[in-house]
Amino acid sequence: MSIQAPKQVVMVRPHHFRVNDATLEDNAFQRSVHHTDVSKQAYIEVSQAVEKLRAHGITVHLFEDKSIDTPDSVFPNNWFSTHHSGTLITYPMRAENRRREYRQDVLETLWQQYGLEHAKDLRHFTDQQRFLEGTGSIVFDHVNKLAYMARSQRTDDDLLKDVCDFLGYEAVIFDAYDAQGTPVYHTNVMMCVGTHFVLIGLDMLEATQRALLCQRFERSQQTVIALTHEQIQHFCGNAIELQGKEGALLSLSQTAYDALTIEQRATISQHATLLPLSVSTIEAAGGSVRCMIAGVHG
């Protein structure tokens, strides 16, 4: 069992899902959806994902969202994170309509069931136009106490360093760009850190930074699975390692699974069982399975 892979997660089932116009500016992964039953289909996708995760031994704390003006609520990982120190951190999000996603009932559940203390609240930094969007902006390596972050309009170097000082982690900050030269909006769409492996879009990094990151992975004895720009666009980096009843799982979307090569799947399978979930409607909003799952560490 690894401290990197949670057995418990938080998910949100939206009743009024839609693509968020307020985040279109810097999220190159968003796309238009042309069928009319988008909200219904997203509801179904979350329901089926929860059922599949539970069938594999994952405890899913599922919260309903009936609000009309929270189009991205299906992505709860952006506003809080939990940690083995027994602490919970809340984060400042860039889009104003995303700040409506903060929920006291989620926090209270985590306090009551896991004894987590809301020890650090960064939400007020939105007043200074400073942002850090949870485990979207930060990819934590809990085993090696590292916090990876690709710079974007949704990140702040000093806020990350503050989080790292609080947790006793080391910040690893870099720049990552898609094939068009656009900064990646969230680190977790181009990078997934597992206990023994890393999925990462190495082509998105400048050569010096790429070499430095690869040195980190080598020191951590993590197998590197390099993803192409096209695979990143298919959300291959947006995955999360979980602890199922029969061992480690790598939960990712069916879209991502289909885009991986046979060799890449085989390499991952040496460390974790692949668990693809069908969430293509939700992916139109610019996020995939990792964004949908907030791990509970505590």
How many C-alpha atoms does 17 have within 13 Å on its Cβ side?
30
In a domain, residue 1? The reply is no
Could you tell me if 41 and 279 are in contact, meaning their C-beta atoms sit under 8 angstroms apart? Answer: no
Quick: pLDDT tens for 87-119: 999 999 999 999 999 999 999 999 999 999 888
In a domain, residue 2? The reply is no
Q: What pTM, to 2 d.p., does this model score?
A: 0.95
Residue type, 67: S
CA distances from 87 to 137, 167, 168 (A): 18, 9, 12
Q: What is the pLDDT of the chain when averaged over all its residues?
A: 94
Strand residues in 58-210 grouped as ranges (E): 59-65, 80-83, 87-90, 117-121, 138-141, 146-150, 170-174, 191-193, 197-200
Give which of 217, 75, 78, 224 is closest to 154, Cα–Cα: 78
Segment 256-276 shows an average pLDDT of: 99
Phi first, then psi, for residue 98 (nearest 5°) are -75, -25
pLDDT over 90, % of the chain:
87
| Structural domain boundaries, residue 124 | 8-296
- pLDDT at position 255: 98
CB neighbourhood size of 34 (10 A):
7
Side-by-side strand order, sheet with 8-14:
59-65, 8-14, 294-296
In a domain, residue 22? The reply is yes
- pLDDT at position 35: 53
CA–chain centroid gap for 106, Å, is: 17
- pLDDT at position 197: 99
- pLDDT at position 27: 46
- pLDDT at 242 > cutoff 70: yes
- pLDDT at position 192: 99
In a domain, residue 52? The reply is yes
Phi first, then psi, for residue 240 (nearest 5°) are -145, 135
Total domains, the chain: 1
In a domain, residue 3? The reply is no
CATH number at residue 178: 3.75.10.10
